[in-house]
Amino acid sequence: MRTLLPVAAGRGTVACAATPVPRRSLLLSTAAAGAALQPEQVAGTRPLRLTRSVASAVAKPRTSADEAISWAKKDNRRLLHVVYRVGDLDKTIKFYTECLGMKLLRKRDIPEEKYSNAFLGYGPEESHFVVELTYNYGVDKYDIGEGFGHFGIAVEDVAKTVELIRAKAGKVIREAGPVKGGETVIAFVEDPDGYKFEIIERPGTPEPLCQVMLRVGDLDRAISFYEKACGMELLRKRDSPEYKYTVAMMGYGPEDKDAVLELTYNYGVTEYAKGNAYAQDRGGGEAVRRPGGAGAGALARDQHQDHSHPGP
């Protein structure tokens, strides 16, 4: 049986938890990604607004910050799906299936809440990172903002993939070729809503939907947040002074096998316009909230509750 801790979620959230039996999920605010995560926040001493269903959990003794962080690193976690809003659900599904080669895994309509969503990916949700597209009734356009960068898709042959996308009337915004300062062949395409996809030549990967790139205003603080709150590992960090940016790859496993977050810091830029289109990343784990412990200042919930609200 799933344990639900329903809470109201704001715009631009990042979920990180892991694949459970039974499945549970954890939702964290990205506001903390741009600010330092203080030890007392990890320990859960900051008051949290909880429903009656978790009143008993409040009375239980809290674990220390070090214990909570240690537990998070041992929990079996992975990124589950990324949620964002689109203006024409059927048109976007067509692009993702015909141009990007994804499969429509499931689709549902929630008329009482005035939204529909669809899950697409390269394999079952139980074992693959997938996209969750959300269409809010009557809303045909969103502001993507500046904080969201792009998704990454690993393919056998970038050039052939680009030609297929072009043949299907897709928009190619960067032709196939080596990445700046490296040898990896990449290209960039854009979906009907303006979301960018980096096509990466990486044969044999078990997870084609391989990364989500987000821009951050303070890279070290963002890294600290994802390590402490989400239990991710810093896989690698690269500074490119000639292009005035630094990137950090964060995740629960190696880049060639698991989906990861690519955090990008552009020299001198500390804030980005968030927009109202990109919603959240979500992860799953064996246990969202450790019995008697604190979930890094976050609350668990099983279903999204803010699909129809772009945020304040």
Q: Which residues neighbour 309 within 8 Å (Cβ) at sequence distance 6 or greater? A: 11
Is 198 part of any known ligand binding site?
Answer: yes
Check if 198 is active-site. yes
CA dist 180 and 120 (Å) reads: 30
Choosing from 198, 201, 207, 262, the catalytic residue is 198
Is 132 part of any known ligand binding site?
Answer: yes
The answer to whether 305 and 9 are in contact (CB under 8 A) is yes
CA dihedral 104, 144, 272, 175 (to 10 degrees): 70
Is 309 part of any known ligand binding site?
Answer: no
Three-class SS of the chain = CCCCCCCCCCCCEECCCECCCCCEEEEEEHHHHHCCCCHHHHCCCCCCCCCHHHHHHHHCCCCCHHHHHHHHHHCCCEEEEEEEECCCHHHHHHHHHHCCCCEEEEEEEEHHHCEEEEEEECCCCCCCCEEEEEEECCCCCCCCCCCEEEEEEEECCHHHHHHHHHHCCCEEEEEEEECCCCCCEEEEEECCCCCEEEEEECCCCCCCEEEEEEECCCHHHHHHHHHHCCCCEEEEEEEECCCCEEEEEEECCCCCCCCEEEEEEECCCCCCCCCCCEEEEEEEECCCCCCCCCCCCCEECCCCCCCCCCCC
- Residue ranges for the binding site for Zn(2+)? 132, 150, 198
The residues that are catalytic are 198
- Residue ranges for the binding site? 132, 150, 198
